Amino acid sequence: MALRIVFMGTPAFSVATLKALAEAGHEIVAVYTQPPRPAGRRGLDLTPSPVHHAAEALGLPVRTPLNFKADEDREAFRALDADVAVVVAYGLLLPEAILTGTRLGAYNGHASLLPRWRGAAPIQRAIMAGDRETGMMVMKMEKGLDTGPVALTERVPIDEATTAGTLHDLLMEAGARLMVQAMARLETGDLPLTPQSEEGVLYAAKIAKDETRISFAKPAREVLRHIHGLSPAPGAWFEVEAGGKRERVKVLACALETAGGETGTALFDDLTIACLEGSVRLTRLQRAGGKVLEAEEFRRGLPIPAGTQVA
């Protein structure tokens, strides 16, 4: 017996769960996603979300309300007569009329170990804070930001090489598996719900532009976490003098080194930069408007010799 599901999601992270639920045999009665956004060099082209594209490829009906303030949008949702809503990175705080607009409520796939890292950027914040693990959780949604009781959890380790990009993909696949399990247990009335702890609450604020610049005046381990937590997007960056002008360089990966020196100074010709404690060797970089390159190829186009100051 299959559930009648309303799926709500927007970015690529949500697509794996949508596909997994469809493959599991559930009836996806509608897919809600954020409206197409301006794209292209002039911002004149409207681009549908990754979930929008995936839903159309699956032959599923798509709805893109700006929000649910209008009574007609709320009534249209309720009229679907769905058993449950599944929400994965939809991008909108849902009103109570939607949370209670299905027979069994709404369940969210969230990329952290709640109550740690509620909010918009849990993957990036976990890495930047030096967490040793994170995970996916399926929680029943209620009014409030990621505050509902937790049903299922899958933990994922974080090490020094983990970037937001690699962690995103691991959690995306874990989330799809977990939501399929959750819906199977919900269908049989065997889905446990455990209230979140009131202790250990942290909020994962959206990444601001003014925190993407690399400060080498911090310990090397903090610099590495900053770089990896923002890789591949929005990307951590520094500036260096090149051809008589300052050029911005994004760093997508690095490794810890023990050599020390004046902070922000290239210690060797291999892109090892001194930090407050230790140093980091930059291993994957991108010039403004250029391709992402491994360090050896990057240095052929923009060498940063020992003694160069970057900031």
Which residues fall in the annotated binding site for (6S)-5,6,7,8-tetrahydrofolate? 112-115
Q: List CB contacts of 188: < 8 A, sequence separation 6 or more.
A: none
| 271 closest CA partner among 27, 259, 151 | 259
Q: What angle in degrees, to the nearest 10, is found between the helix axes of 12-23 and 50-57?
A: 20
| 302 closest CA partner among 245, 226, 256 | 245
| 220 closest CA partner among 262, 258, 265 | 258
Annotated binding site: 112-115
The amino acid sitting at 105 is G
* DSSP letter assigned to residue 26: -
Signed CA dihedral, 132, 163, 14, 25: sign only: negative
Q: Cβ atoms within 10 A of the Cβ of 188, count?
A: 8
| 28 closest CA partner among 78, 108, 85 | 85
By the 8 A CB rule, do 229 and 128 touch? Answer: yes
For the chain, helix (H) and strand (E) counts, in that order, are 8, 16
CA distance 7 to 19: 10
